[in-house]
């Protein structure tokens, strides 16, 4: 059923953003905030005073409702009418020559050699640390 053919009682059960969604869907056009809210107010029979007092809340509701998108710095449309294109920039990877790439690979191999899994004998360090320790019995501790 068309939003414009609904009774006021049916419209009053809907939120302002739901009415706005239906208006944009039916009309298949973009609205700026005052135009869109004026259409909502006309459908609900709201006065100019109510329009002026509620337009800021309406704008906030549109911005938080995920169904709407703010485009061209002043118009609202439905997100479903727009495609988001994601571009991934890999930086300057294309500008790296083969020689530079070979050099980077050699450098990384050198680093790996420095941190290889050679076993290191830490037992001498442990013995030196233990040399200065003394064992104390509970009886020897003063309270």
Task: Report domain extents, the chain.
Answer: 3-81
- Indicate if the pLDDT at residue 103 is higher than 90: no
Global confidence as pTM: 0.57
Contact 87, 93 (CB under 8 A): no
What pLDDT is stored for residue 106 in this prediction?
Answer: 61
What pLDDT is stored for residue 37 in this prediction?
Answer: 96
Tens digit of each residue's pLDDT (9 = 90 or more) over 18-37:
999 999 999 999 999 999 99
CA angle at 41 for the pair 28 and 68, rounded to the nearest 5°: 40
Pairing of strands 31-32, 75-78: antiparallel
Confidence class for position 127, pLDDT limits 50, 70, 90: confident
CATH number of 3-81: 1.10.10.1250
Tens digit of each residue's pLDDT (9 = 90 or more) over 38-84:
999 999 999 999 999 999 999 999 999 999 999 887 899 999 988 87
């Amino acid at each position: 059923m068309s939003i414009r053919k609904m009774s006021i009682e049916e419209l009053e059960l809907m939120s302002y953003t739901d009415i706005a969604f239906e208006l944009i869907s039916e009309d298949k056009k973009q609205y700026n905030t005052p135009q869109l809210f004026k259409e909502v107010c006309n459908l609900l029979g709201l006065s100019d005073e109510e329009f002026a007092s509620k337009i800021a809340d309406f704008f906030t509701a549109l911005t938080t409702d995920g169904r709407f998108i703010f485009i061209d710095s002043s118009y609202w449309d439905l997100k479903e009418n727009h495609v988001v294109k994601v571009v991934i920039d890999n930086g300057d990877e294309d500008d790296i020559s083969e020689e530079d790439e070979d050099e980077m690979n050699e450098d990384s191999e050198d680093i790996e050699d420095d941190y290889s899994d050679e076993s290191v004998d830490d037992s001498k360090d442990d013995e030196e640390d233990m040399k200065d320790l003394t064992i104390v019995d509970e009886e020897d501790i003063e309270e």
